[in-house]
A and B are shown apart, each in its own frame.
Chain A
Amino acid sequence: MPGLNTSLSIAVQALQAEQGALSVTANNISNVNTPGYSRQVAILNEAPTFQENTTTFGSGVTLDQFQSVRDQLLQLRLYEETQQQGNSQTQLNSLNQIEGMFSDPAQGVGGALSAFFNSLSQLSTNPTDANARQQVLTAGNNLANSFHQAVSGLGTIQSGLDQSVPQTVDQINRLTTQIAALNGQVAQMQGLGKDPGSTQDQRDELIRQLSALVNVSVTQTEHGLTLTTGNGVPLVVANQSFALQSGTNSSNVQDVFSAQGQDITSQIQGGQLGGTLQIRDQVIPQVFTQLNNLASQFATSFNTQHQAGFDAAGNAGQNFFNPLASPTNAAANFGVAITDPSLIAASSDGSAGSNGNLAPLLAIRDQQLPSGASPMNMYSNLVLQVGNFGANAQADVNASNLSVQQITDQRSAVSGVSLDEETTNMIRYQRAYEAGARVVTTVDSMFDTLMAMGVLT
């Protein structure tokens, strides 16, 4: 038969357990705004019972452990969507800059091309007019400038992206170092059967941050998590991290190398780094190619027709534009080859007043170039493509934002701290503590009674 002492010790256990549980509530409340924090619950268990004769007696309560409430599957999906988000947001930022150069149809290469043809049309009404001839040269130079501006604008964006590669690689390495250290601790605690709690929260939050930078694939092993890039290059194994490296490649841009020195640039797809490389190595080169094709094909067919005519002195026409037979760097090298307006070969019969060669020159405006499209259509195709890139990236950003928000909601529904819940728990623990304390005072007064009996006796 348990005595007063037993009741007292049970009550003291209760007081301790409720205090412990209250400390969980306090910790939850204080971390209500900590990113990645998973709420903890106090695991209370009945203390072992004991038997006397036929009666089983409870011996109170024990506070076994504090356990974090988390859903590992949601966490993995969060990493995945965060990669998407990082990737598409980075692409969108660059694409917004790129499409800014193609926003105004009256400006840029398209506007300058249109103005150049207009200047030829103007000259056709008076082929000996010195002003009109000068105007053609000016419009040709403006066209060259607009090509150069597009090239340098794209180049600036490209080199900005290039410079961000080593910075992102540094960030990745800093994160993987921290993750590896925490990963080791988590594995150790798990090995001892303990709940890694906030250590795991911190590690998972860092993996989430890492996902925003690069595509990470996560595998659970007995030594903790193994993190690799999407194509299997290890980043973190157990408590060890493998630093990526960045370095200049043969074309003078920054490539990404694995810790073993293997060039993995083309294999990186997700996250901010993947988005950066996608724009730097795919999108901008595509835009360059189209600009170069336009510059080369237009200059070539214009020159051919220009040479078929005669200048104001009756000599056969020269190249009007710098010859650009190869599309390589054609947009950057695009330029007017003549500086003397009288060298414009407007004439078809050798006399200065003939405008006979201007009509076929003007016809190039609507003629199919080797690409299969007219110069203006080549340019509008470029605008279409840049616009599509931007629109797709915007759609991706919207979709991944929504996914991240949904998963964050779901994750928060499982792991998030609810102040209402914590307040309720606080009241529960407080009341239980008060009751436990009352048991102590009751037992105390029972002892008094007992003592008084002794005194009386």
Chain B
Amino acid sequence: MRVNPDMSADVLAAIWNTQSQEDTALQQMSTGKRVNTPSDDPLAAAQMVGNQDQSNRTDQYLQNIDTLTSQLQTADGALSSVVQQLTQAITLGVQGTTGTLSAGNRQQIVQNLQGIQSQLVQLANTSIGGSFLFAGTATTAPPYALDSSSPSGVTYSGNSGTNTVQAADGLTLQTNLPGSQLFQNPGGDVFAAMQQLITSLQTGTATDAGNATNQLRSAFDFITGQRIFYGNAVNQLNSTQTFLQQEQVTLKSQANTLVGADLTKAATDLTRAQTAHDAALAAAAKILPTSLLDYLK
């Protein structure tokens, strides 16, 4: 039977074939990726778009958590100072209710209390990066100002708005408590109690001062209770952070499954391709030069 006498085309095709297998294995080993263009595995490439987006989101969530944690801790720190100030104010209030005080002593206490009042206003105006933490959503201006004409001694220019931030997929978290809720709550009104104490020490009776001190106590209890909100939020962020870091690892390993090269397999493929390539070359070297002419003298 007559066969194709010109084997050079087939030999070349075989050599190119084994060479391209070598290239593929080598590319997988050097890039560490099995899918370098969408056509290498269209489905995996499409899924990688989602994986990449999810991974970007996770990075952003982690960054958000850092920002939020620092905001929440600053707010909680401010409240902790408020609590200290209130402790002091209560002590002063108790002193003020003893009937044996001279007018000068009272005046002294009033002055101390007024100092505390303005301290409290300052704390209620705590800001981070120009954003006032207790102003509701009107965060661009200090929410509290001293105002002797107001029964609470202050005016509140913030609002009662709250913000929520997504800290992870499916987890939204309230990130602020407005000043009106914290410091002027019917369940414990810090500023009204302060102002009442000051007024009663200036013009009222010891009983008035005692009542005002009691109101200050309930304000103290209320604020202490509200701090739990911040503590909880920070705790929740901490555990979310751990979860998200885990998620990052999962996403990376998912990406690796989708498009990563199996290096052991790539190495085996490379060896196999090299062997095949050597064989093709050896066969070419044996076959191509032989001709009947070699045997004729």
Contacts and interface: CB of A to CB of B under 8 A. Distances in A.
A141 B138 CA distance: 29
Interface stretch (B64-72, B78-86, B148-156): B64-72
Given A121-B166, A408-B9, A383 B45 contact: yes
A379 to B, nearest CB: 6
Size range of the chain B interface in the assembly: 35 or more
B161 A354 contact: yes
Given A359-B166, A384-B42, A405-B10, A125 B64 contact: yes
A380 B159 CA distance: 43
Size range of the chain A interface in the assembly: 35 or more
Interface stretch (B55-63, B104-112, B216-224): B55-63
B50 interface: yes
A409 B39 contact: no
B9 to A, nearest CB: 7
Contact of B163 (A117, A121, A353, A380): A353
A43 interface: no
A292 B166 CA distance: 30
Contacts of A379: 49
Interface string B109-136: 0000000000000000000011110011
A391 B39 contact: yes
Contact of A128 (B36, B46, B63, B130): B130
A105 B37 contact: no
A125 B10 contact: no
B52 A110 contact: yes
Given A105-B49, A114-B53, A380-B49, A124 B166 contact: yes
Contacts of A356: 137, 161, 163-164
A114 B50 CA distance: 10
A111 B292 CA distance: 64
Interface string A391-418: 1011000000100010011101110111
A194 B139 CA distance: 100
B172 interface: yes
Interface in A424-440: 424, 427
B279 interface: no
Q: Describe A's contact surface by its main secondary structure.
A: helix
Given A110-B49, A383-B38, A419-B292, A124 B64 contact: yes
29 contacts: A32-B6, A99-B37, A100-B37, A102-B38, A103-B45, A105-B45, A105-B48, A105-B49, A110-B53, A118-B56, A118-B60, A126-B71, A353-B163, A354-B161, A355-B164, A356-B164, A362-B166, A377-B50, A383-B46, A384-B43, A385-B42, A387-B37, A387-B38, A389-B39, A390-B39, A413-B3, A417-B5, A419-B292, A423-B292
Interface of A: 32, 95-96, 99-100, 102-103, 105-106, 110-111, 113-115, 117-118, 121-122, 124-129, 347, 349, 351-356, 359, 362, 365, 376-377, 379-381, 383-391, 393-394, 401, 405, 408-410, 412-414, 416-421, 423-424, 427
Given A351-B136, A354-B137, A409-B9, 18 more contacts: A99-B39, A105-B49, A106-B52, A114-B57, A125-B175, A351-B161, A356-B164, A376-B49, A384-B38, A384-B42, A386-B38, A387-B37, A390-B38, A405-B13, A409-B10, A412-B4, A414-B2, A416-B6
